[in-house]
Amino acid sequence: MTSSLEHTSLLHRRGSRLSLEFQPGEVQSQMDLDDPDQLVLRYARAMMCFVLFKPRARHIVMVGLGGGSLAKFCHRYLPYARITVLELRADVIALRERFAVPPDDERFRIIHADAADYMARLQNSADVLLLDGFDHDGLPSSLTTARFYADCRRALRPDGLLVANIFSYDPRYPILLSRLRQRFQGCLCQFNGIAGNNRIVFALKAAADRPTPALNLLRRVARHQGLWPGLGFGLINRLLARWLVARLRGSL
């Protein structure tokens, strides 16, 4: 059994920021204690761009709880969505109250499970699948295989969207991108420079001969590395993510 001391060792406070760190200095998740629902980290705001493709997702499945930033944001600001979070580490789940993660209810649930095993049993269930599961060494190998990505595609409903957080400096990055492209039949895009070393990949379960609004938008982003032709550089995309999050929070 993991002790409360070991739980606490994952926590690091600097001023008004509480961080989850598997190793000192390597921030997995961060919360502003004065505004717990704010998405502090740039990559988290970038992942929320899934709303552009799926504005009314009914079921969101998340791989990796961390400090719960994405989970509690979606729970509060996407009230029409049911949210299932898969987390392998019991010590991380034990910190949910420290990070103001809401309790389980009829539309929010955290499951202590190996995501690779769980995904293999899921079929035609999720509208959006957020892959953000990391350990001390980065992305676990079990969450990067061709089989896992095939299971993810099967877990999605038709026109469902996968969003994967991958470090650009991961030596497997080109291979992972190739696997996603193959499993999702080329229906991939990224917003250039939106989250620094975190590359956020959007992959759509779509039929190329049956265009949908999500597929049309994905193709547009893929062509320009952003929404606006000629303005695909990082600053514009980062402003887009900030605008989207602010709009969801009702602060615009």
Tell me the pairing of strands 156-167 and 198-204: antiparallel
User: How many other β-carbons are positioned within 10 Å of the β-carbon of residue 13?
Assistant: 10
Q: Starting from the edge strand earliest in sequence, which strands make up the sheet with 17-23, in order?
A: 11-14, 17-23, 26-32
Contact 226, 232 (CB under 8 A): yes
132 is catalytic: yes
Contact 20, 11 (CB under 8 A): yes
Q: Which of 132, 135, 137, 209 is catalytic?
A: 132
* Class of residue 4 by CB neighbours under 10 A (exposed 0-12, middle 13-18, buried 19+): exposed
> What is the H or E stretch that residue 200 is in?
strand 198-204
Q: Is the dihedral of CA 173, 168, 117, 130 positive or negative?
A: negative
Would you say how long the chain is, in residues? Answer: 252
CA end-to-end span of the chain: 46
Alpha carbon distances (Å) from 77 to 35, 82, 83: 14, 12, 12
Known catalytic residues are 132
